[in-house]
Structure 1
Amino acid sequence: MSEEQNAQNTQNLDVPEHLQYSQDHVWIDTSTSPAVVGVTEYAQDQLGDLVFVDLPETGGHVEAGDEVLELESSKAVEPLVSPVSGTIKYVNREASDDPSVINNDPYGEGWLLKIELDDDEPDLLSAEDYAKIIAA
């Protein structure tokens, strides 16, 4: 990918430019409806090989800052904190059945949730700002 398409940090992890990010290492693609949510390459790299994903039910409402699911690896169990408010429309059952898809393709097939956003404007970071955080 070119520099315009992808920001890089000192750990050489992908931070796709077309996505937005939270400080909790969650990415969101607001260009689609519903918005797509997943964990960043940095987050899955820190967790290591994922062995279990506890997905929420569809139809539930989440607020920005809510813990919406858990990611379990051999190292730790970490909650995913929603960066946005809205209604969960879809969950990625493939990622639940085979969590390695998150490690292998965190920005593609490893997406976790699709959320119909509330009208609130989410407080998110650009790829450039997120890359600075993980490089620090």
Structure 2
Amino acid sequence: MTEYYPPWGFYYRVDFPFSGDANDTRFQTVSGLTVEYDTEEYKEGGENRFTHKLPVRTKYGDLSLKRGMLVGSQVISWFTDAFRDRDFRPSAVSVILMNEEGQPLRTWKVAHAVPKKWTVSDLNANENSVVVETIELTYRYFTVS
């Protein structure tokens, strides 16, 4: 019997359905795949030791993607269309964790993602560093398969 080893967290890709460019799937970091409940406190009469915390609604974090700046990116065109022209076109986004053979292990399907923020790292003539762009998306929910 072989023991289970957790998968590595560095072999993944991010798929945008409107982009056919393989470079648009490569990101240095992906964060924000979080989900939690908002709660509401209810105080029960006669019970002074605690308050009941009841789940109200589900709350999802913003998806943050970081990579070296890419020139000619369809994802960045999608962002600039939203910010410049106020043309917000929601999109599905898939974050796919892969095994050593490149086969999907787990897929997070993000629904109704829209651009929220685009940041380009500081340009500094005193440093020898890659220009990094960070894009943030807000979304409704995600499913895991």
Q: TM-score range by the shorter chain?
A: 0.3 to 0.5
Larger Rg: 2
Which has a greater percent of strand?
2
Which is bigger in relative contact order (C-alpha 8 A, separation at least 6)?
Answer: 1
Which has a greater percent of helix?
1
Q: TM-score, normalised by structure 1?
A: 0.35
Q: TM-score, normalised by structure 2?
A: 0.33
